[in-house]
């Protein structure tokens, strides 16, 4: 039950001032009475009369004063209410449950509700739920961005304690006030957002366009018509960019610099960079269609930074095989296109240049560490053996970093055990490699260009000199500050690349038969027995290894399958689900096998032999992760599918790993990804 209202503060002191004077008078009267009783008695009579008059006036006038104060407070409150009512900013009061109890005119106009609307705030704004409002748990203020109809608002909530409101009053005292109200302010920032978007749309974007196969395409055209082909391509690019109010400046015969507004880039994204396909339509008898790569830099702090982003983006596009567009911002990298297989380069000039650079780097150091990817396969180990041979030929001590020896690599590792030609520390684990790492050591990374999935990522930080040799398409995550980077997506395997480098690094280099077997095995496994991703240089590399002592029969015996593995692969093939007519999806249940992921990859290859299948996906649950192996022949780019799910790879050979999810959920996510990309015409 509430107490009666009392006066407090200065007004209470003012009203009681006469009583305080009476007390002072009584004290003086007592002192005089002790000196002179007659005078004290006379003053005492006056004091009693004074107290009588004062008390009479106090109790008679107090109700009148209280009424006047209440009237003033009421009038003052009405003025405040009127000011709030006519305030231009939408304002409302809520109770502690979120129910609207008062609104001003601006709020009613903003939400198109009449005066007296008293429903919950959630009924107006579904995103503003009760748990987002100030409450007793300590949340006194809250602020959110809100879209209502066609307007953008910032909505602020403030908690008003009724007890504090009473205590802060200068006229009344009521300690039993309880509960709280919530004040709501809505700030319309629609015009500000429109202005910011307009400024952002007008900001500069820098791009680069490279012709991927300029020289190769020209060679398929008669010499007298080559200039016409170049002119048609040039016209196509300039006309397309001009239509977007941009500028295209030709830097070299096969390179363009483009400048346009960010708004134009958004239009390109909406059309999914259809310029990639339009350029392919230029045909004057050329047997090979011309493809382009586009790199765009956005949202940099300066024009120079946008240009640097564009250069990084075009490098990514080329490193991923070309025929695609890459947009790079400070936070993200976005890919478009990439549906065509990159054309193999017939010249070995680049391989020779990289080989000479590698030789200079290795000879400048005392030790060489060679590292592949985690759960190493035949290609990564074969390439590591090739680099080991180069280091030995150059007189440098080398070590191969290998932690877990999988069943696929085990036969190759056995070739080097107990051989006097090879030192016992040829193969080291992570801990041993870390002890060897230092400034005078070069680290060669093969068959991988993503630092997070290397055999020992810490080595990348401890070795100042890093060389990357890989045949996988580059993604957003790359090994930064590499001394030498040689990434060729058109190559069939890392072993093919290392085999070429071997021939230029050291004159008349001698490759031992077991080393040749390892590299030949890597090419054979990654090309699925020379059936996928094979080019002229693939067979040339295989021929070099064959001359060096590689034995096809010996290699075949190394990779004969175990009966249990063969059965597991057959089960995966037999249980495959045909999804959307063209996609085969299956599960490899080979938990009892040492390397079930390899069996899953083999099953994915087998599923491509089914007529009508354009891509296959095999999921394997192994060591708490879901491993997805994706394969295709030529019509579907499985790399961009796997990238959407957090993985990567090649156009027709890719994979990803998923954590914290079961097989059923993983299959559902795969199907959802396929559906989405089919709907957007991305695959």
Sequence spans of domains, the chain: 9-84, 89-196, 202-337, 364-558, 564-679
Helix (H, G, I), strand (E, B) or coil at 408: coil
R_g over Cα of the chain: 41
Confidence of residue 128 (pLDDT cuts 50, 70, 90): confident
Please list, residue by residue across 560-571, b when 16 or more beta carbons sit within 10 angstroms of its beta carbon and e when fewer do: eeeeebeebbeb
d(CA 462, CA 399): 16
Q: Tell me the DSSP string of 315-371.
A: HHHHHTTSSEEEEE-SS-EEEEE--SPPPPP---HHHHHHHHHHHHHHHTSSEEEEE
Strand partners, 369: 399, 443
Residue 220's closest CA among 291, 288, 292? 288
Average pLDDT (43-58) is: 80
d(CA 90, CA 189): 13
> Between 59 and 415, whose confidence is greater?
415
Q: What is the pLDDT of residue 362?
A: 92
> Between 66 and 366, whose confidence is greater?
366
d(CA 644, CA 321): 18
Average pLDDT (466-494) is: 84
Cα distances (Å, whole numbers) of residue 103 to 116, 158, 188: 8, 15, 17
- Token digits of residue 348: 């070995």
Angle at 557 between CA 553 and CA 563, to 5 degrees: 145
**Four-residue CA torsion sign, 278, 279, 284, 290:** negative
Average pLDDT (234-240) is: 92
d(CA 207, CA 512): 48
CATH annotation of 564-679: 3.10.310.30
pLDDT per residue as tens digits for the range 180-190? 888 888 888 88
Whats the size of the chain, residue-wise? 683
pLDDT per residue as tens digits for the range 494-540? 999 999 999 888 777 888 999 999 999 999 988 878 877 788 888 99
- Token digits of residue 8: 């407090």
Confidence of residue 545 (pLDDT cuts 50, 70, 90): very high
Neighbours of 641 (CB within 10 A): 25
The answer on pLDDT for 630 being more than 90 is yes
Phi-psi region of 149 (alpha: psi -120 to 50; beta: other; left: phi over 0): left
- Whether 485 contacts 371, CB under 8 Å: no
CATH annotation of 202-337: 3.30.70.270
Q: What is the pLDDT of residue 171?
A: 45
d(CA 652, CA 633): 6
Confidence of residue 247 (pLDDT cuts 50, 70, 90): very high
- Token digits of residue 570: 């057959």
Cα-Cα-Cα-Cα torsion 188, 189, 192, 198, nearest 10 degrees, comes to: -110
pLDDT per residue as tens digits for the range 321-342? 788 899 999 888 888 876 655 5
Neighbours of 556 (CB within 10 A): 12
The answer on pLDDT for 9 being more than 60 is yes
The answer on pLDDT for 55 being more than 60 is yes
State phi, psi for 494 to the nearest 5 degrees.
-70, -30
CATH of 89-196 among 3.30.450.20, 3.40.190.10, 3.10.640.10, 3.30.300.180: 3.30.450.20
User: β-strands 397-401, 427-428: how paired?
Assistant: parallel
Q: What is the pLDDT of residue 508?
A: 78
- Kind and range of the H or E run holding 442: strand 441-446
Q: What is the pLDDT of residue 1?
A: 39
Model-level pTM?
0.58
Cα distances (Å, whole numbers) of residue 493 to 193, 475, 506, 540, 628: 51, 17, 21, 13, 20
d(CA 501, CA 386): 9
Domain 364-558 is found in CATH 3.40.50.300: no
The answer on pLDDT for 144 being more than 80 is yes
Q: What is the pLDDT of residue 8?
A: 64
Average pLDDT (199-225) is: 86
Residue 184's closest CA among 83, 89, 82, 88? 89
Cα distances (Å, whole numbers) of residue 334 to 316, 337, 640, 644: 11, 10, 11, 11
Q: What is the pLDDT of residue 666?
A: 92
| For the chain, counts of helices (H) and of strands (E) | 25, 23
- Whether 430 contacts 452, CB under 8 Å: no
Strand partners, 583: 579, 615
Q: Tell me the DSSP string of 87-104.
A: -SS-EEEE-TTSBEEEE-
Beta strands in 198-284 (DSSP E): 204-211, 247-252, 255-261
Confidence of residue 258 (pLDDT cuts 50, 70, 90): very high
150 burial level (CB within 10 Å; 0-12, 13-18, 19+) = exposed
What is the 3-class SS of 500-515, one letter each residue? HHHHHHCCCCCCCHHH
Query: Within 13 Å of residue 116, how many CA atoms lie on the same side as its CB?
Result: 0
- Whether 474 contacts 487, CB under 8 Å: yes
Strand partners, 588: 620
Q: Tell me the DSSP string of 604-660.
A: HHHHTTSTT--EEEEEEEETTEEEEEEEESSSS-HHHHHHHTT-EE-SSEEEEEEES
């Amino acid at each position: 039950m509430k107490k009666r209202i009392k006066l407090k503060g200065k007004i209470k002191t003012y009203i009681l001032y006469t009583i305080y004077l009476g007390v002072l008078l009584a004290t003086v009267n007592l002192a005089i009475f002790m000196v002179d009783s007659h005078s004290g008695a006379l003053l005492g009579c006056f004091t009693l009369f004074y107290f009588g008059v004062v008390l009479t006036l106090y109790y008679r006038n107090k109700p009148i004063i209280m009424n006047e104060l209440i009237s003033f407070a009421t009038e003052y409150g009405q003025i405040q209410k009127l000011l709030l009512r006519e305030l231009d900013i939408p304002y409302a009061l809520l109770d502690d449950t979120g129910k609207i109890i008062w609104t001003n005119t601006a709020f009613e106009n903003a939400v198109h509700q009449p005066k007296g609307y008293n429903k919950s705030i959630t009924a107006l704004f579904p995103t503003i739920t009760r748990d987002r409002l100030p409450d007793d748990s300590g949340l006194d203020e809250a602020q959110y961005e809100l879209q209502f109809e066609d307007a953008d608002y910032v909505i602020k909530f403030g908690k008003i304690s009724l007890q504090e409101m009473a205590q802060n009053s200068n006229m009344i005292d009521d300690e039993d006030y309880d509960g709280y109200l919530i004040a709501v302010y809505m700030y319309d920032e629609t015009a500000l957002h429109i202005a910011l978007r307009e400024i952002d749309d007008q900001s500069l974007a820098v791009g680069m366009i490279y012709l991927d196969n300029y020289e190769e395409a020209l060679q398929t055209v008669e010499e007298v018509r080559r200039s016409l082909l170049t002119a048609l391509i040039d016209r196509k690019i300039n006309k397309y960019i001009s239509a977007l109010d941009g500028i295209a400046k030709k830097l070299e015969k096969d390179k363009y610099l483009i400048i346009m507004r960010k708004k134009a880039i958004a239009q390109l994204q909406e059309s999914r960079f259809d310029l990639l396909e339009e350029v392919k339509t230029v045909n004057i008898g050329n047997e090979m269609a011309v493809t382009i790569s586009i790199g765009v830099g956005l949202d940099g702090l300066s024009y120079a930074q946008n240009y640097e982003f564009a250069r990084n983006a075009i490098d990514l596009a080329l490193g991923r095989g070309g025929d695609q567009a890459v947009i790079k911002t400070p936070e993200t990298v976005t890919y478009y296109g990439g549906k065509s297989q990159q054309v193999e380069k017939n010249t070995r000039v680049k391989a020779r240049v990289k080989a000479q650079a590698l030789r200079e780097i290795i000879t400048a150091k005392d030790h060489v560490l060679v590292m592949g990817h985690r759960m190493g396969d035949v290609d990564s180990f074969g390439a590591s053996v090739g680099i080991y041979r180069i280091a030995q030929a150059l007189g440098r001590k080398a070590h191969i970093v290998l932690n877990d020896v999988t069943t696929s690599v085990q036969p190759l590792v056995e070739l080097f055990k107990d051989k006097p030609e090879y030192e016992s520390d040829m193969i080291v684990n992570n801990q041993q490699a870390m002890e060897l790492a230092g400034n005078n050591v070069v680290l060669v990374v093969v068959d991988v260009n993503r630092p997070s999935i290397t055999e020992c990522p810490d080595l990348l930080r401890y070795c100042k000199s890093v060389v990357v040799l890989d045949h996988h398409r580059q993604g957003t995550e790359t090994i930064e500050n590499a001394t030498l980077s040689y990434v060729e997506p058109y190559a069939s395997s890392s072993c093919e690349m290392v085999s070429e480098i071997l021939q230029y690094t050291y004159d008349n280099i001698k490759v031992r038969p077991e080393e040749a077997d390892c590299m030949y095995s890597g090419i054979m496994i990654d090309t699925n027995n020379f059936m996928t991703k094979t080019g002229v240089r693939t067979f040339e590399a295989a021929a070099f290894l064959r001359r060096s002592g590689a034995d096809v029969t010996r290699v075949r015996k190394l990779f004969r399958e175990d009966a249990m593995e063969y059965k597991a692969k057959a089960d995966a093939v037999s249980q495959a689900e045909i999804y959307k007519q063209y996609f085969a999806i299956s599960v490899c249940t080979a938990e009892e096998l040492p390397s079930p992921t390899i069996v899953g990859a083999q099953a994915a290859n087998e599923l491509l032999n089914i007529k009508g299948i354009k891509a296959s996906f095999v999921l394997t649950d192994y060591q708490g992760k879901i491993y997805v192996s994706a394969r295709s022949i030529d019509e579907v780019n499985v790399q961009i599918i796997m990238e959407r799910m957090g993985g990567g790879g090649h156009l027709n050979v890719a994979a990803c790993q998923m954590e914290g999810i079961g097989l059923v959920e993983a299959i559902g996510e795969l199907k959802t990804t396929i559906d989405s990309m089919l709907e957007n015409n991305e695959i």
